Amino acid sequence: EIVLTQSPGTLSLSPGERVTLSCRASQSVTSNYLAWYQQKPGQAPRLLIYGASSRATGIPDRFSGSGSGTDFTLTISRLGPEDFAVYYCQQYGSSPYTFGQGTKLEI
């Protein structure tokens, strides 16, 4: 089973700032099948990025993903008030499709 470790656990930031979230895998992610999700309280997760770097439909271009192998990042170029949420990475290249433990962005 691939273990995904996200860092940091919590980030305190201000609107307008740039942020980079990290997701490290315990072994190489097959075909870089790595996704990022945003989840707000009481809501289902929302897909942001798939295949490590492809934005999902309707996702603003301030969200970008990069990385390959075992190291991946999600960058938000300018934080909007609506971006304060929990972010999860997930690998779906090999079963079981594991999630990271999440990074919380707070104001």
Partner 1 sequence: QIQLLQSGAEVKKPGDSVKVSCKASGYTFTSHLINWVRQAPGQGLQWMGWISAYNGNTNYAQTFHDRVTMTTDTSTSTAYMELRSLRSDDTAVYYCARSVYYMGADYWGQGTLVTVSS
Comparison of 84 and 92: residue with beta carbon closer to partner 1: 92
CB atoms inside a 10 Å sphere around CB 23: 28
Q: Which residues bind partner 1 (CB under 8 A)?
A: 31, 33, 35-37, 39, 44-47, 49-51, 56-57, 88, 90, 92, 95-102
- Minimum CB separation from partner 1 for residue 47, in Å? 5
- Minimum CB separation from partner 1 for residue 18, in Å? 24
29-68 residues labelled b (16+ CB within 10 A) or e (exposed): beebebbbbbeeeeeebeebbbebbebeeebeeebbbebe
- Minimum CB separation from partner 1 for residue 7, in Å? 14
Comparison of 73 and 98: residue with beta carbon closer to partner 1: 98
Comparison of 17 and 97: residue with beta carbon closer to partner 1: 97
